Chains A and B, each alone.
Chain A
Amino acid sequence: MISKLKYILLLFFIAISLNAQSVTVFANTDTTDYIVGDYIYYTLELNYPKNTRIEIPQIQDSITVLDFIKEEPVVSEESGNTVHILRKYIFSKYDSADVTIPGFRINYFLDGNSEPQFVNVNPVKIIVRTIEINAQGDIQDVKAPLKIQLDWLMILLIILIVVVVIVGVYFLYRYYRKKKLGIVPQKKIIKLPPYRIALDSLSELETKKLWQQGMIKEYHSEITGIIRKYFEDKFNFRALEMTSSEVLLSLKNINDTREIVEITDEFLNNADLVKFAKFKPIPTINEDMMKQAYEIVNKTKVEEEVKVETLEVKNV
């Protein structure tokens, strides 16, 4: 009886010892049912003693029925004398088929033993299917439209926009009502007739006493500038960008200017001589220039009333 018990105990210890020294491997996938193109997560779960060297073959070479995508980082943990490793690989398949991921051999070397031993990885069966098409059904989007959740922030924003629009419409209504009733403030602009501007400018030039101070060229430039500007405003031709002869030609084509053509010719020619030919006129010529300028304006002016234009003030 005792010898039998000893025998049983021996067998028990041998079994424990053998179990402690064994290497186990288990392969599985996240599911067995896939649609073409899906990621297939293939996991190898290895348990082996601490002092064992494991040789896992290249997974791409071992599993050729699937398309290898990538390998994820290895998760390893030790508990007592045993090492537990999780190796995850991602595969995919682009054809529909019933696939058996084949098993393969993993070699290992127990501590101090150069003779390799091996353990077989179990095969895994999966199904890869195509997308089911309902030929009878309506045409529809691959994905349904995204629905925005109507949360309280969105509702608040909509209310705010509505309030702003209502307030805006109210103020516009008020503005146009006031305008209709003539309450909107308006700015008055006094538009002087060209002759008034010219006469004022000539008078201002006289007070400057330019030629009396030796600034003859400046005097002639300014006086011709005033008259050219007057022609531009009065007769609507670009006198400031015209040469003297072009100004005269334009004047000749205007009916009201017959009596000033000659005097303007003399006026502009004298000024050109001073401006471009270093001509130094005697004082009487300078005085005559002013007289001629007044004459040109006075002979062509038409007594007009000062126009008052009203302009709405923008920043009401």
Chain B
Amino acid sequence: MEITELNEKIKQESEFVEILIGEIGKTIVGQKEMVERLVIGLLANGHILLEGVPGLAKTLAIKSLAQSMQAKFQRIQFTPDLLPADLLGTMIYNQKEGNFGIKKGPIFSNFILADEINRAPAKVQSALLEAMQERQVTIGSTTFPLEEPFIVLATQNPIEQEGTYPLPEAQVDRFMLKVKITYPTRDEELKIMKLNVAGAMPSIKPVISPEAIIKARNLVQNIYVDEKIEKYILDIVFATRNPKDFGLEDLTDLISYGASPRASINLALGAKAMAFIKRRGYVIPEDVRSICMDILRHRIAVTYEAEAEDITSEIIIQRILNAVEVP
């Protein structure tokens, strides 16, 4: 497909994004970035890890997204006594028929909110993350593919770390984005307060079908990424591994290990989804830059030295972005 033709098609087909964001915005005041990242996850077929203190409308946002798409939504509160079967489903003996029947778990939905994922033990986390990766679940001897679109939004509370099971680095890497949610502004909070006190929360109407999202995903795949952009993505990722090569010698001792190849893949996918949202048929460096922090922050491990100096992965990513030449 010619680039001008693709550009025109994307312009037409991406119209729903604004409508979708507008519909979610009926109930979610502010948190524009979080909503935008939800759509990126949806379009790039990636899962999202949300980090933020309680009460920042994480559940409401994903519930609104599910409602606006007429999709199935499940919220699972992760607790220390949760079992994999509580999540995936199990075989139940049917006394009447004298055989075992399959009872599917809450994972068989389009949108899953895994609330406080770090409160459940490793076996439950593994069960969820395996399902996320494989997009299928095996109960007994039967394997069930999960319905598309399938997107997991896991939340982590950055405070109260006592009694939690932090996600291992290998599992965190499976989340396409790690979004940090901050408090709303004063004006936004005033709107939230008024909206809730009035007691008349606007209802969300379905504005797009799950099938349309799958169709949009195919279009996102076709978005053009120039080799200059590919090189830019690789420069950023390689700078996390060998900062010295990019004139960032002082970062060498601060990075324990850099971003994996999954980071490069997800940066390219995320940039494409961002270009789609911006209604373009091609990726520009801004798309990469805008998604970079959310894709890399959980993929770079800092050293004890960095921790001692309060240097976070975000600071390192910002330094890298400021040092890598834009094409």
- Residues of B near A276 (CB, < 8 A) are 224, 226, 228-229, 282-285, 327
A243 x B226 contact (CB < 8 A): no
A277 x B324 contact (CB < 8 A): no
B289 x A243 contact (CB < 8 A): yes
Residue of B nearest to A279 (CB): B3
CB of B142 closer than 8 Å to a CB of A: no
CB of B286 closer than 8 Å to a CB of A: yes
**1/0 per position for B1-21, CB-CB distance to A under 8 A?**
001000100000000000000
From residue B316, how far is it (CB to closest CB) to chain A in Å?
Answer: 15
Task: Tell me, in angstroms, the Cα distance from A245 to B290 when the chains sit together.
Answer: 11
CB of B94 closer than 8 Å to a CB of A: no
Residue of A nearest to B2 (CB): A278
Inter-chain contact total with CB atoms closer than 8 Å? 48
CB of A240 closer than 8 Å to a CB of B: yes
Highest count of chain B CB atoms <10 Å: which of A221, A240, A272, A277 = A277
One of B224, B280, B321, B326 near A240 (C-beta < 8 A): B326
One of B280, B281, B286, B326 near A241 (C-beta < 8 A): B326
Asked if A242 meets B326 with Cβ closer than 8 Å, knowing A272-B284, A276-B284, A278-B282, the reply is yes
Task: Tell me, in angstroms, the Cα distance from A300 to B326 when the chains sit together.
Answer: 23
**1/0 per position for B256-270, CB-CB distance to A under 8 A?**
000000000000000
CB of B102 closer than 8 Å to a CB of A: no
From residue B327, how far is it (CB to closest CB) to chain A in Å?
Answer: 7
One of A243, A277, A278, A279 near B326 (C-beta < 8 A): A243
CB of B196 closer than 8 Å to a CB of A: no
CB of A196 closer than 8 Å to a CB of B: no
One of A241, A245, A277 near B282 (C-beta < 8 A): A277
B286 x A243 contact (CB < 8 A): yes
A243 x B325 contact (CB < 8 A): no
- Residues of B near A221 (CB, < 8 A) are 228, 327
Task: Tell me, in angstroms, the Cα distance from A35 to B281 when the chains sit together.
Answer: 98
**1/0 per position for B309-327, CB-CB distance to A under 8 A?**
0000000000001111111
- Residues of A near B285 (CB, < 8 A) are 243-244, 276
Complex interface residues of chain A between 228 and 271 (CB less than 8 A to chain B): 238, 240-246
B321 x A241 contact (CB < 8 A): yes
Task: Tell me, in angstroms, the Cα distance from A128 to B267 when the chains sit together.
Answer: 85
From residue B280, how far is it (CB to closest CB) to chain A in Å?
Answer: 8
Highest count of chain A CB atoms <10 Å: which of B229, B281, B283, B286 = B286
Residue of A nearest to B322 (CB): A241
Listed in ascending order, the chain B residues whose CB lies under 8 Å from chain A are 3, 7, 224, 226, 228-229, 280-286, 289, 321-327
Pick 16 A–B contacts, CB within 8 A, sort by A: A221-B228, A221-B327, A241-B321, A241-B322, A241-B323, A243-B284, A243-B289, A244-B285, A244-B286, A246-B286, A275-B228, A276-B228, A276-B285, A277-B282, A278-B226, A278-B282
Closest 4 CB pairs of A and B: A277-B282, A243-B286, A276-B226, A278-B3
